[in-house]
């Protein structure tokens, strides 16, 4: 029994060593010896110099090392994780307007439960002077009743805030959310014009 166990362990150790040698695994000490040194240049055409077999060469594609062992490759070798990105060019965009342009601007039509909400704003002197509801949920009599109470409140709040940062009207959550989104898109268009 003892001999069989020793023979099995010897076979397993030998197999691991052979697989490791065939795949080209090396210790950290030999990896440093294979790292490109300053002054060493790659071969013409940009390809790196060939590695010496068995001395820190990269493992074959698809080969894996011992469990938990990190892959080690020299910079510039296939499988290397160190990359250099080209320098980013500075963006040349026009500066954003600080005030809204005068005019009438339509917001996006926003679908909410029970229908769409769409607004239009009138800007004068860089301020929102009027908000018109172009579309609101009206398929059900209950929706009409809710919106008749909610839309004037939302308009008053938006004109006072001069933004879409307004509170939700109780009982009209869907309409309030659609109102804010459509209003914000109209304000964005006024700033971009």
Q: What pLDDT score was predicted for residue 193?
A: 78
For residues 155 and 127, is the Cβ–Cβ distance under 8 A?
Answer: no
If you search the block for the tokens 């060469």, which residue do you land on?
Answer: 57
- CA Rg value for the chain: 35
Q: What pLDDT score was predicted for residue 180?
A: 97
Bridge partner residues of 106 (DSSP): 120
Q: What pLDDT score was predicted for residue 9?
A: 79
Q: What pLDDT score was predicted for residue 176?
A: 96
Q: What pLDDT score was predicted for residue 10?
A: 80
Q: What pLDDT score was predicted for residue 16?
A: 77
Distance CA 144, CA 146 (A): 6
Q: What pLDDT score was predicted for residue 86?
A: 64
Residues of the chain with pLDDT under 70: 20-97
Distance CA 5, CA 10 (A): 9
Reduce the DSSP state of residue 31 to 3 states and report it: helix
Q: What pLDDT score was predicted for residue 167?
A: 95
Please choose, from the candidates 110, 111, 134, 112, the residue with its C-alpha nearest in 3D space to the C-alpha of residue 122: 134
Domains belonging to the chain, first-starting first, are 2-31 (no CATH), 103-192 (3.90.1010.20)
Degrees (nearest 5) of the Cα angle 78, 84, 89? 145
């Amino acid at each position: 029994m003892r001999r069989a166990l020793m023979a099995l362990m010897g076979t397993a150790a030998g197999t691991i060593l052979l697989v490791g040698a065939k795949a080209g695994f090396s210790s950290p000490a030999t990896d440093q010896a294979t790292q490109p040194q300053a002054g060493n240049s790659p071969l013409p055409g940009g390809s790196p110099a060939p590695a010496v077999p068995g001395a820190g060469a990269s493992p074959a594609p698809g080969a894996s090392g011992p469990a938990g062992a990190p892959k080690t490759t020299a910079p510039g070798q296939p499988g290397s994780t160190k990359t250099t990105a080209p320098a980013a060019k500075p963006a040349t965009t026009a500066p954003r307007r600080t005030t809204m342009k005068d005019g009438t601007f339509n917001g996006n039509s926003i679908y909410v439960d029970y229908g769409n909400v769409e607004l239009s704003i009138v800007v004068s002197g860089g301020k929102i002077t009027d908000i018109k509801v172009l579309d609101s949920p009206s398929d059900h009599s209950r929706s009409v009743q809710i919106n008749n109470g909610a839309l004037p409140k939302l308009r008053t709040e938006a004109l006072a805030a001069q933004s879409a940062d307004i509170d939700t009207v109780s009982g009209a959550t869907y309409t309030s959310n659609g109102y804010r989104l459509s209003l914000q898109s109209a304000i964005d268009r006024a700033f971009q014009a």
